[in-house]
Structure 1
Amino acid sequence: MKAGIIGGTGKMGMLFSPVFERAGYQVIVSGRTTDVTSAEIAQTCDLIIVSVPIRDTVQVIQEIAPLLTKEQLLCDFTSLKVAPVAAMLESKAQVIGLHPMFGPTVSSITRQTIVMCPVRVTGTTLSDFRHIFLREGAVCTIATPEEHDRMMAIVQGLTHFVTICMADSIRRLDVDIGKTEPFMSPVYQIELSLVGRLLSQDPALYADILELNPFVPEVLAACREAAGELSGIIQDGDPGAFTTFFSRDTRHLGTYCGRGQELTDALIECMVKK
């Protein structure tokens, strides 16, 4: 069996190549520096995975789609699913959209989540393919492409938006981060670490996640509305209104509030030990 990763010379392709090799595949990769082309992978491999930047994904899929047969399995590693899956369905191949919910800096996929969107695939193929990841210790979540993109508008879109806004607020205030260190609380250190982690990566990735997901605008509208209401309460100096605002969110998150407390307590304890 042959597995071809288009864009496989990138970090995500390099992370997953050994995964498929351990599953019995001969892995072939293509990229800007390889002699192997996307067309060659499409014509010779049983499993084809497109692992290129989000903005390029649909175009790459469209280029190889006419070359594929119904015996092949076509997948992608993109952070969005609706548009790439629609493009993959234009081929004759079986189709499963994939989204690894982690970056390529992890040491393995053990205990990491992979979202799978099986849209045209036999039950046996899906079971066998899913088992590749389960055998590595990964967690597989099944969703439709629309369910995936709606959830990513929260999990990625909202999270990244708020993190970038925190960074830009610090910049607008002309705050010297170094001078905040003597005043640093554990929570601030965690938040600032998330800011640093995001800003140390490729801005094009975050631009695509925020700009190309059709469900992000409604999420950001809710975020702006929440920020506006909370700002008004703070400006009015009304502790009762603040408690009402705070308490309704506590009720909505329910038991996760306690879980979040436990998780961050454990994280803070690890930070102190270091």
Structure 2
Amino acid sequence: MKILVLGAGKMGTFLTDVLCINHEVALFDTDPKRLRFVFNTLRMTEYEEIWAFEPELVINCVTLKYTIDAFEKVLPYLPKNCIISDIASVKTGIQAYYEGTGMRYVSTHPMFGPTFATLDNLSTQSAIIISESDHMGKAFFKDLYGSLKLRIFEYSFDEHDETIAYSLSIPFASTLVFASVMVPQEAPGTTFKRHMDIAKGLLSEDDYLLTEILFNPYTHNQVEKIRAELKTLLEIIDDKDTERMQDFLKMVRKNIE
């Protein structure tokens, strides 16, 4: 299959490396410096090159902020039968855009970032495929993600964003609160170090990506739950109420069984 990958960032170059073994792959980026370290792949910086390539599938890997803008710029150069796809972590507005193009589409979300994941062993990682997607597009990504040993889930657009609010927004918000009260000092303890490593990894991600995940329409209610539990915990601490603390810990342990 002739596949065009948009954006030579972390995920774009990773998917290019994976796909170029069995497919004819082109990687497009307006910055030629970002194309220096790809192999067995056509490198493109001009839109006219896309027209000549005639891709059968486009995988949009640009920063979330520019996902739709990137589609807008390449659509005039794509064959009518081309399937367009995204890997965005927040799907708000994407379904309406796809339906407005009249083209076949497939939307997925590989739920691992090159910052955190061990890319040569992804068996503990997951991917979501959107149920409204084109049948052939879904089949392609099921094969791709299956070959990477990812756990595959299928959700609707709305179910995806609701799930992401739970699985990403809660840990992101908790980590940001942890990091926001840090001061420059040495602190012993394995738990502290692990939290700090997670915080550093999270804050190495793109600001707009973090912002969009936290601005997910479903995030507010999840963060509100965190605030409510923090309020309860603070009351227990202030009252030095051992019995309530034991009940609280029992409840927390049950939640993570």
User: Could you state the TM-score of these two structures normalised by the residue count of structure 2?
Assistant: 0.83
Identity %: 22
Determine if the alignment matches structure 1 residue 120 to structure 2 residue 133.
yes
Q: Which has the higher helix share?
A: 1
Determine if the alignment matches structure 1 residue 88 to structure 2 residue 101.
no
List per-residue Cα deviations over 1:107-155 (Å, max 9, x = no partner): 3364232211141312x55324311221232322211111111111121
Aligned length: 242
SS at match of 2:120: coil
**Contact preservation (8 Å) 1:2, 1:27:** yes
**Contact preservation (8 Å) 1:61, 1:87:** no
50, 55, 60: which one pairs with 2:70? Answer: 60
Q: After TM superposition, list the pairs within 5 Å mapping 1:125-136 onto structure 2.
A: 125-136=137-148
Query: Are residues 143 and 66 of structure 1, via their aligned partners in 2, closer, same or farther at CA, if it must alter by over 3 Å?
Result: farther
Kindly provide the amino acid, as one letter, of the partner of residue 14 in structure 1. T
List per-residue Cα deviations over 1:24-79 (Å, max 9, x = no partner): 32111111224534575478210111111112112333444566566322111211
SS at match of 2:129: strand
**Contact preservation (8 Å) 1:115, 1:141:** yes
227, 231, 235: which one pairs with 1:228? Answer: 231
Gaps of 5+ in 1: 256-274
Q: Distance in 2 between matches of 1:38 and 1:246?
A: 58
Determine if the alignment matches structure 1 residue 169 to structure 2 residue 181.
yes
Kindly provide the amino acid, as one letter, of the partner of residue 249 in structure 1. V
Determine if the alignment matches structure 1 residue 200 to structure 2 residue 204.
yes
76, 100, 103: which one pairs with 2:86? Answer: 76
Kindly provide the amino acid, as one letter, of the partner of residue 3 in structure 1. I
Query: Are residues 88 and 69 of structure 1, via their aligned partners in 2, closer, same or farther at CA, if it must alter by over 3 Å?
Result: farther
- The corresponding residue for 2:45 is 36
Kindly provide the amino acid, as one letter, of the partner of residue 20 in structure 2. E
142, 150, 164: which one pairs with 1:152? Answer: 164
